[in-house]
Amino acid sequence: MFKLASFLKKYWLSAVLAPLFMLLEVCMDLLQPRFMASIVNDGIMAGDMGAIAATAPKMLIAALIGLLAGVGCTVFATIASQSFGADLRQQLFQKIQSLTLKSLDRFGSGSIVTRLTGDVTQIQGLVLLILRVFARDTFIIIGSLAMAFMISPRLSVILLAMIPLLALFLIITTRITVPLFSIMQQRLDQVNTVMQENLSGIRVVKAFVRSDYEEERFNEANSNLLKASLKAAKIVALNTPLMSIILNFSIVAALWYGGMLSEQGALSVGSLAAFLTYITQLLFSTLGLGNQLMAISRAKASADRINEVLELPRENQDTKQQFDQQPKQIHEGRISFEHVSFSYDGDSENAVLRDIHFAVEPGETIGIVGVNGAGKSTLVSLIPRFYEPTEGVLRIDSHPISEIAPQELHSQIGMVLQQAHLFSGTIAENISYGKPGASQQEIEAAAKAAEAHAFIMKLEHGYDTVLGQRGVNLSGGQKQRLSIARTLLLKPKIVILDDCTSAVDLNTDQLIRKSLQTLMKSSTCLIIGQRIASVQQADRIIVLEDGQITAIGSHQELLQQSKLYNRIALSQQGA
């Protein structure tokens, strides 16, 4: 948890001023019992009204100073905690953007959202708690203990016996609750994951009438969270009454022993009243400190989860200095797979791709076909370095991709996926997503090449039409065409089309292919297609079976050489 304290460095002044103001407030509060003792001893017991009148304004001034100091503490503590939370959230988001897909797959979107929101909020709340409440209770305990000893060292022996007992109790409960709060956050991850999957796939849920099943899934995840929360809450619930027993016993003991000392004349009535006030403040602050330690326990679980993300290696962990000293540029777009194998878990026995070996010349168009699960999408995902090859070398323009800066690599690779992902915003903003400064003419040219201009102009606001989340107000084919336009606008050296026209009709597909041949004739193009018609005009076609290349050739050659390709082609002849 201390690793995250570095985010407070920028706001050190507010972080220092907040407890200093709180110290001033506590000092004013600690003066009040002494003033009360003076009123009782010098005023009431002595029958001197002048002493009471002289002490009352001091109490009022101390109270006003304490009030202003408390406000100052709140202001500076809020500035520090809110700024800390904003910076931590920003840093965590930036780190998430830099993670490999393998790391992101490991956590899942539900867990990442929880860490970015709930866990950061927990830590942010802890900073506010420490700078205000924790600081106050700590100062009260120290100050009250000192003042109590000044009044009666003999009576303060009770405190010396009570404090170690409370400390032992707090240590035990803290050690028990930290793992429980960690489990709670994991269960919250599960709830978020189920909810996100349900919302993103709500059309499928309704289409297959699976609302009851989804409710059962959510109920199970919610029940697991409830069980974990109750288990932690029971431990926390025991904390207050058990500590109260210890505290009340200490107060009773102080009253009994203090009364004896007062009868013996060793302690004045006013001093006894002040001592009891100090011990009450000390004991209740100790009780509050115990409750805060429970909050710290929960925040520690959140801090561990945040650090787990922040400590992960960044995508393509090559030093920036290496790229600066040896910049590798993509000029031609030649791609070379040299005996590449890949496994998601790093185990060669579970390899998804095996001994992939081929080269694509600059400006060449390569089609990739195969049955579902053959490894087509995995193969092209290695080119932008979404995943690292388990074995072999992948080169672009004779450079291993590990030697090409990620920014250069991604800026020269345009990728259109089957599942088109659009962002909230206008159609023009979505098309120019990769090139924010694009002119309206460039945007429209890309849309026309993707056969999207016609349907865009039919919309009421044209290119200024605002899309809902994930482009919910467009059809699947329309979203795919906008995704293609977004890539065409960049004019990258390498274009990867992963079955990106599956939702458009065959005629529109052919029109898009013709536009691609014209606009991207100087680009290296890899096309994954379920339809033979989508790839048959390619220069060469790769047939992939069970993660291995079984044939490479033109459409006519493969009809003769590859049984799988022939079978797929025959099955689609009437389509």
DSSP secondary structure string for all residues of 256-321:
HHHHHHHHTTSS-HHHHHHHHHHHHHHHHHHHHHHHHHHHHHHHHHHHHHHHHHHTSPPTT---HH
What totals of helices (H) and strands (E) does the chain contain, helices first?
21, 12
Domains, in order of start, for the chain? 8-310 (1.20.1560.10), 335-571 (3.40.50.300)
Residue-wise burial string across 543-553, b where 16 or more C-beta atoms lie within 10 A, e elsewhere = bbbebbbbbeb
Give per-10-residue mean pLDDT for the chain (575 aa).
82 93 92 78 67 80 92 94 92 84 74 84 90 90 86 78 77 78 80 78 71 87 88 76 77 79 75 80 78 76 84 61 62 91 82 92 90 87 88 91 84 80 86 88 89 89 84 79 86 84 68 69 84 84 92 91 88 66
pLDDT at 326: 59
**For residue 175, what pLDDT is reported?**
79
CB 323 within 8 A of CB 287: no
Q: Burial of 135 by CB count in 10 Å (0-12 exposed, 13-18 middle, 19+ buried)? A: buried
Strand partners, 426: 466
Looking at residue 47, its pLDDT comes to 64
Q: Which residues, 6+ apart, have CB-to-CB distance to 233 below 8 Å?
A: none
pTM above 0.75, yes or no: no
Task: Measure CA of the first residue to CA of the last residue in the chain; give whole Å.
Answer: 61
Burial class (CB in 10 A: 0-12, 13-18, 19+), 542: buried
Model pLDDT, residue 299: 81
Question: Any residues with CB less than 8 A from the CB of 81 and at least 6 apart, and which?
Answer: 124, 125, 127, 128, 131
